[in-house]
């Protein structure tokens, strides 16, 4: 199977589901804007070699405060921002049926295509995962309080520049009302000269 064939699969079995959830698309990247200025990003990465034809689905939510922070660090705003600047992100894990055709030990987030029957089962599994997992997670993270909850409890991943996790949590708390006490406790976990701590304190007027 070629890259073109994988793209055809995605056009038929992934992109229409996301379009129905108000995502707009440019190639394999899809964006959705929330009324509060947040933005969801979904990216499909295709991998085709002699052993397999596969793709991965990465998704996350970008917040205006984090975009402001990046702009202050010299990173320009982009009309189609990369997935990598999502404040909170995850990957859509594949079911067993999407891994059986892979050589060796496939990654759990790798969706591997195969025969016609297998192809149909993967399409059905992908549609379910988009509708039942990805879209609800993104809609949840559009709520600042829910993003903070996931960052504090079980966040899948965060922007690399905001590790360790208190950095991302402090950034997210800037969007939550009446969060002063938790913000102070979170900042206290970071060194006093930490770049993110200093930026958050300056912006919050602490």
Please give the C-alpha separations between residue 194 and each of 94, 163, 198, in angstroms, as whole numbers: 37, 11, 6
Burial 1-23 (b: 16+ CB within 10 A, else e): eeeeebbebbeebbbebbeebeb
How far apart (Å, rounded) are the C-alpha atoms in residues 86 and 160? 9
Cβ–Cβ < 8 Å for 61, 70: no
DSSP state of 132: I
Task: Give helix 180-187 / helix 165-173 axis angle, nearest 10°.
Answer: 160
Q: Spell out the alpha helix ranges (H) of the chain.
A: 3-13, 15-20, 64-72, 116-129, 135-141, 144-153, 165-173, 180-187, 195-204
Residues 6+ apart with CB under 8 A from 177: none
What pLDDT score does 156 carry? Answer: 60
What are the tokens at 147? Answer: 């993003």
DSSP state of 176: S
What pLDDT score does 106 carry? Answer: 66
How confident is the prediction along the chain (206 residues), in pLDDT tens digits per residue? 689 999 999 999 999 999 999 999 999 999 999 999 999 999 999 998 877 888 999 999 999 999 999 999 999 888 899 888 999 999 999 888 777 555 566 678 889 887 667 788 899 999 999 999 999 999 999 999 999 998 887 656 666 666 668 899 999 999 999 999 999 999 999 999 999 999 999 998 86
Please give the C-alpha separations between residue 130 and each of 91, 123, 180, 199, 204, in angstroms, as whole numbers: 11, 11, 35, 36, 37
The full set of domain ranges for the chain reads 3-137, 145-204
What pLDDT score does 113 carry? Answer: 86
Count of all residues that appear for the chain in the document: 206
């Amino acid at each position: 199977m070629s890259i073109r064939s994988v793209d055809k699969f995605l056009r038929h079995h992934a992109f229409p589901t996301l379009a129905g959830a108000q995502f707009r698309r440019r190639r394999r990247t899809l964006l959705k804007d929330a009324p509060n200025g947040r933005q969801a990003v979904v990216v499909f990465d295709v991998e085709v070699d002699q052993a397999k034809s596969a793709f991965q689905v990465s998704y996350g939510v970008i917040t205006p405060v984090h975009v402001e922070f990046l702009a202050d660090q010299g990173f320009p705003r982009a009309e189609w921002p990369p997935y990598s600047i999502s404040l909170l992100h995850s990957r859509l894990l594949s079911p067993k049926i999407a891994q059986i055709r892979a050589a060796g030990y496939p990654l759990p987030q790798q969706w591997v295509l195969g025969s016609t029957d297998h192809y149909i089962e993967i399409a059905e599994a992908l549609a379910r995962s988009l509708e039942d997992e990805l879209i609800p997670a993104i809609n949840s993270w559009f709520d600042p309080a829910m993003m903070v909850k996931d960052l504090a409890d079980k966040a899948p991943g965060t922007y690399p520049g905001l590790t360790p996790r208190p950095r991302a949590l402090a950034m997210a708390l800037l969007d939550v009302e009446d969060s002063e006490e938790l913000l102070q406790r979170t900042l206290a976990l970071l060194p006093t000269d930490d770049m993110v701590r200093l930026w958050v304190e300056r912006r919050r007027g602490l």
